[in-house]
Chains A and B, each alone.
Chain A
Amino acid sequence: MSRAQTARPSSRLLRHPGPVAHERFSILSDVASRTARVRLKAGQSLVDALDAAVRRMCKGEARAAAVTLIGGAFGPCVYCLAARDASGHTVATYTPMRDAGAVRVLGGAATLGLALSGEPMVHCHAWFVDPERGHVAGGHLDTRATRIGGEGLVVRVNVLGRLKIRQVEDPETNHAIFSPVGYVEARA
């Protein structure tokens, strides 16, 4: 076993364009809060469907949530992959979006939080199969262009207590990244 390990090619560390942040982990916790199995209805965008479901679970309030994709369909499913950034502005950027059409969802995860603009935003990675050709693919979804498909989509939603998750500018990577930024104040 040790011989195999010494022969193994190893993963690389990569230098990002900006100063390295001192704090490497941003962590917030809360007591476990509402969990639900939700069947999202066909036709809505993924971000609208999840935002509406979480608001219904939380008496109309917008809350952050961690979502596990259990099964169902997207139609269309619009996604991209990671790519090298030839400009050097970032270490990794995205390929152009590709439209996979109607797909059956095999799995994935999503976070519901707030974009830089304050609008609801969903970061979602998923994998899926093209039912016509049987081709399996996956990547980073455009959650506004991706819509829930004909059979709906079953998800498990964990509302993250009172945690506030918001996209923040990250000078280290030159990306805007979801980060835990505090707690929602309790409504009187």
Chain B
Amino acid sequence: MSDGSEIETGTTGRIVYARVRPNEDLVHGIEKICLREGIARCFIRGSLGSLNDACVSLSDETVQVLRGPAVEVVGLSGEVRSDADGNPVASVTGVLAEPSGRICGGRFVRGQNPVCVTFEIVFEEWLASDPAVGQGAAGT
């Protein structure tokens, strides 16, 4: 009997800590670090930092730009998966604090979230054990 959910079992591999410097994009930065480290899949853990301005999508049609500097990222969660060609694709959402103190959130739009002072990102590598989904491009 199936409820339609996808279950992928696995174990955690390496843990990676990265400091991202100013004006690098948050989403591209996460993907570049995965390329550099040979990580095919991971969860984003314990990450925090600030953005010049933030750009998040609230739905497929709605995008919101929040003006800094700086917009503080006060909550962040996400993961990186590989596309069919083995390229890393990050999907990251966050909770944001504007300079005014207003709290908002959404999914970070690729290329539109430049780091302000610093961003600390912790990656927990995910080694899927299900043969149906394979091991991705890690180590190739």
Is chain A's interface secondary structure helix, strand, loop, or mixed overall? strand
Report the contact-size class of chain B (Cβ under 8 Å from the partner).
Answer: 35 or more
Is chain B's interface secondary structure helix, strand, loop, or mixed overall? strand
In the complex, which of the residues B51, B54, B63, B68 contacts A8, with contact meaning CB atoms closer than 8 Å? B63
Stretch in A39-47, A54-62, A144-152, A169-177 touching the partner: A169-177
- In the complex, the answer to whether A31 meets B13 with C-beta atoms within 8 Å is yes
The 0/1 profile, CB within 8 Å of B marked 1, for residues 105-142 of chain A is 01111110000000000011111000000001111100
- In the complex, the answer to whether B36 meets A178 with C-beta atoms within 8 Å is no
- Docked Cα-Cα span, A106 to B60, in Å, equals 26
Stretch in B2-10, B73-81, B83-91, B128-136 touching the partner: B73-81
- In the complex, the answer to whether A125 meets B12 with C-beta atoms within 8 Å is no
- In the complex, the answer to whether B69 meets A84 with C-beta atoms within 8 Å is yes
Residue of B nearest to A85 (CB): B69
- Docked Cα-Cα span, A68 to B120, in Å, equals 13
Distance to closest chain B CB from A40 (angstroms): 15
Assuming the A-B contacts A32-B125, A177-B118, are A123 and B18 also in contact, with contact meaning beta carbons closer than 8 angstroms in the complex? no
Instruction: Report A-chain residues with C-beta under 8 Å of the C-beta of B74.
Output: 107-108, 125-127, 138-139
Residues of A157-188 contacting chain B, CB below 8 A: 158, 160-161, 163, 165, 170, 172-173, 175, 177-180
Report the contact-size class of chain A (Cβ under 8 Å from the partner).
Answer: 35 or more
- Docked Cα-Cα span, A30 to B14, in Å, equals 6
In the complex, which of the residues B21, B32, B76, B112 contacts A21, with contact meaning CB atoms closer than 8 Å? B21
Residue of A nearest to B98 (CB): A81
Residue of B nearest to A138 (CB): B74
- Docked Cα-Cα span, A68 to B27, in Å, equals 20
- Residues of A bordering B, CB below 8 Å: 1, 4-5, 8-14, 16, 21, 23-33, 64, 66-68, 81-84, 90-92, 95, 106-111, 123-127, 136-140, 158, 160-161, 163, 165, 170, 172-173, 175, 177-180
